[in-house]
Amino acid sequence: MPRSVVRALAPYKAGTSIGEVRERFGLERIVKLASNENPLGSSPKALAALAHLEGLHLYLDDAHLELKTALAGRYGLSAENVVLGHGSNELVGLIAEMLLEPGREAVMATPSFQLYRLATLVRGAAAVEVPLVEGKHDLEAMLAAVTERTALMFLCDPNNPTGSALDRSQWETLLTRLPSHVTLVIDRAYSEYMDADAPDVTAFIQRRPKTLVLRTMSKIYGLASLRVGYGFGDTESIGWLDRIRLPFNVSLPAALGARGALDDDAFVRRSIEVNEAGKAYLGAAFARLGLRAYPTQANFFAVEVPVEATRAYEALLERGIIVRSGDALHMPGRLRVTIGIPEENRAFIAALEELLVQWRG
Ligand SMILES: Cc1ncc(COP(=O)(O)O)c(C=O)c1O
């Protein structure tokens, strides 16, 4: 039998797929706003790099020095400050593997990215979950939750599923007050979508050892299925992570695509513009419809609905709109909806508006 902690786990449920909805409802047009993907597709430069793929019969050069150097160079770091993962998901797991065991604890917010809890529990450690306040991290409560058993603090910024981010003074508080035995993991999966004046958290790794910043190629670069994530940190932490990862955890196509995408400033700029326009449109529509949404610094909204979240999710699904039910994300009464391209946003709002008439009777 598997270990008792494994037997106690509920399976991870990803967002509903387009194929599932097509099969269930026989719909032609389906709008997927469920998994915070880039609605413009993949970076054209990534796709162009993949067209030159060769040498698949050989094991790749697992050091990925060129990709690491390119990533590090953007922040004045060196390749030794970078670890690559099969998505940043893998890095969350590796960090837990490095630090957690029975008797140790990880502090995290709830609701936040659910993988932190799963990665913690699988290692037999305790997940200390601190409720958000109004969709934001309760920093005081998180600091108060730290004990000598705490090995790790996960901080998702912007937070998935609420979109909130810490401000400069909150970061200062955290950096000065978080005890030095705790590794701080800052998950910046949505970094590129943030306000232009968002604090540069990567600089923190030079200020505080045991600070790791996680990033991904899955979101703004539109490469979710390629599976490339990266982490920045001090050379010692990165060295440990590199030791415990499996060899060849990032494939040759993944590395090639990621390297191509990194030069695609035009695609990133366009993606940000589309997201900003969609954010303004959806924000105004929610206000007009009397629905409260948290301010967001990411490519999604957590919006309140006047019925149970799962009922709202199912009703939208029937109309070919896939969002995420807050019930599945420890966020009852809300939906998480990804900001799409204009026609997707319009289709979502039109369906929601129709449903609100029904729900409000
Ligand atoms: C906060 C956060 N971190 C990490 C990830 C995982 O990204 P990746 O595709 O790089 O594993 C996601 C994906 O939804 C996310 O929302």
Beta carbons of 105 and 85 less than 8 angstroms apart: no
Q: Is 222 in the pocket of ligand 1 (CB under 6 A)?
A: no
Q: Is 159 in the pocket of ligand 1 (CB under 6 A)?
A: no
Question: For 185-221, what is each residue's pLDDT tens digit?
Answer: 999 999 999 999 999 999 999 999 999 999 999 999 9
Query: DSSP letter string over 152-201?
Result: EEEEESSPTTT-----HHHHHHHHHHS-TTSEEEEE-TTGGGS-TT---G
3-state secondary structure 76-128: CCCHHHEEEECHHHHHHHHHHHHHCCCCCEEEEEECCCCHHHHHHHHCCCEEE
Give the tokens for residue 107. 């502090």
Taking the C-alpha atoms of residue 120 and residue 211, their distance in angstroms, rounded to an integer, is 18
Q: Is 237 in the pocket of ligand 1 (CB under 6 A)?
A: no
Give the tokens for residue 262. 């990194």
Residue 66 Cα to ligand 1 midpoint, Å, equals: 23
Instruction: Check whether 10 has a pLDDT greater than 90.
Output: no
Instruction: Check whether 151 has a pLDDT greater than 90.
Output: yes
Taking the C-alpha atoms of residue 217 and residue 228, their distance in angstroms, rounded to an integer, is 6
3-state secondary structure of 216: strand
The residue whose CA has the least distance to atom 8 of ligand 1 is 87
Residue 283 Cα to ligand 1 midpoint, Å, equals: 24
Q: What is the DSSP letter of 211?
A: E
Q: Is 114 in the pocket of ligand 1 (CB under 6 A)?
A: no
Q: Which residues pair with 336 in a beta bridge?
A: 302, 324
**Residue (of 14, 324, 294) closest to 163 by Cα position:** 294
| pLDDT score of 168 | 96
Confidence band (pLDDT; 50, 70, 90) for 361?
Answer: confident
Q: What is the DSSP letter of 67?
A: H
| pLDDT score of 12 | 76
For ligand 1, what atom is nearest to the CA of residue 216? 10
Taking the C-alpha atoms of residue 119 and residue 113, their distance in angstroms, rounded to an integer, is 11
Question: For 22-42, what is each residue's pLDDT tens digit?
Answer: 989 999 899 999 999 999 999
Q: Domains plus CATH for the chain?
A: 4-42+266-360 (3.90.1150.10), 46-262 (3.40.640.10)
Residue 304 Cα to ligand 1 midpoint, Å, equals: 23
For ligand 1, what atom is nearest to the CA of residue 91? 11
Please state, rounded to an integer, the average pLDDT across all residues of the chain: 96
**Which amino acid is present at 281?**
Y
Beta carbons of 293 and 301 less than 8 angstroms apart: yes
| pLDDT score of 13 | 74
Q: Is 89 in the pocket of ligand 1 (CB under 6 A)?
A: yes
For ligand 1, what atom is nearest to the CA of residue 227? 9
3-state secondary structure of 256: helix
Question: For 215-230, what is each residue's pLDDT tens digit?
Answer: 999 999 999 999 999 9
**Which amino acid is present at 182?**
V
Pocket test for ligand 1, best of 89, 137, 299 (most atoms within 8 A of CB): 89
For ligand 1, what atom is nearest to the CA of residue 90? 11
**Which amino acid is present at 290?**
G
Share of the chain above pLDDT 70, in %: 100
Instruction: Check whether 314 has a pLDDT greater than 90.
Output: yes
For ligand 1, what atom is nearest to the CA of residue 89? 11
Taking the C-alpha atoms of residue 134 and residue 130, their distance in angstroms, rounded to an integer, is 13
Phi first, then psi: what are they for 259, rounded to 5°?
-65, -40
